[in-house]
Amino acid sequence: MQKTDLSKFDNSWYNPGGLFKRGVWFFVNVCVMQNRMNPFNGLRVFFLKIFGAKLGSGVVIKPNVNIKYPWKLEIGNNVWIGEQVWIDNLGEVKIGDNVCLSQGAMLLCGNHNYKKVEFNLVVGDITLEEGVWIGAHSVVCPGVSCKSHSILSVNSVAVKTLEPYTIYQGNPAVEVRKREFKD
C-alpha cells in the first residue's frame, strides 16, 4: 500500500467567513434550524436574514433543515424547503421563485479531487431556477444548474445541468421525459 504524503494537503485558500461568525452560526443552526421542536418558520427566516441570507417573501423552511453558511444563500419568493434538507453551501446557492426542495434533499457545493494525492477541496456554485422541484432524498452536486421548471426525481443525483422543462431520474440522473403542464 502506497503511503500518502499529507504535507501537500492545503485548503487554506478557502475562507467561507470569520471564525466567530461561523461559530455563532453553528449554534444558531443547531438550536433553531435543525431543532425538530421549533415549529416557528418565522424564527428560522429571521435568523437566516440576520446572518446574511437573501430571502424573498413566502419562504417556508420546515424544521430540521441544515444550512452551512446563510451568507452564501439566496432564496426567491414562494420557496418550500422540506424537513431534513441539507444545503451544504460551501459555494453560492441561488434558489429561484416557486422552487420546492423535498424532504431529505441535499445541495452539495463541495467535493474533493480524488485524482490528486492532496485530495484538494473543489467548490462549485449551485443554481435552481424558477419552478424547479428537487425530489425527496435527491442530491444536487457542485457546479450544477437546474434550469427553469426542471425536476430531479426521488433519490436521484444531478451531476450535470438539468435542462428546462425536463424530468430527470437515477444515479447519475438522466432525462426520462419532458415536463408538460395541463389545464
Between CA 104 and CA 97 the distance in angstroms is: 20
Within-domain flag for 21? no
Distance of CA 37 to the CA centre of its chain: 23
Sequence-separated (6 or more) residues with CB below 8 Å from residue 92:
72, 73, 74, 109, 125, 126
Q: Does 27 fall in a domain?
A: no
Task: Say how many domains are in the chain.
Answer: 1
* Confidence at residue 145, expressed as pLDDT on a 0 to 100 scale: 98
Residue 124 in any domain: the answer is yes
Asked if the model's pLDDT at residue 143 lies above 90, the reply is yes
Q: Report yes or no on 130 lying in a domain.
A: yes
What mean pLDDT comes out for the span 124-134? Answer: 98
- Decide the pairing of beta strands 145-146 and 54-55: unpaired
Please report whether residue 143 resides in a domain. Answer: yes
The residues with which 73 forms a beta bridge, in sequence order, are 93
The span from the CA of 161 to the CA of 172, in Å, is: 12
Whether this prediction's pTM lies above 0.85 is answered by yes
91 located within any domain: yes
CB distance 68 to 92 below 8 Å: no
44's CB contacts (< 8 A; 6+ apart) are 32, 33, 38, 61, 65
pLDDT of residue 157: 98
User: CATH number of the domain that 105 lies in?
Assistant: 2.160.10.10
Is position 23 within any domain? no
Amino acid at 174: V
Tell whether 76 is covered by a domain. yes
Q: Which residue has the higher pLDDT, 139 or 10?
A: 139
Q: Render pLDDT for 19-77 as a digit per residue (tens, 0 to 9).
A: 999 999 999 999 999 999 999 999 999 999 999 999 999 999 999 999 999 999 999 99
Instruction: Show the domain range for 72.
Output: 41-175
Give the pLDDT band (50/70/90) at residue 137: very high
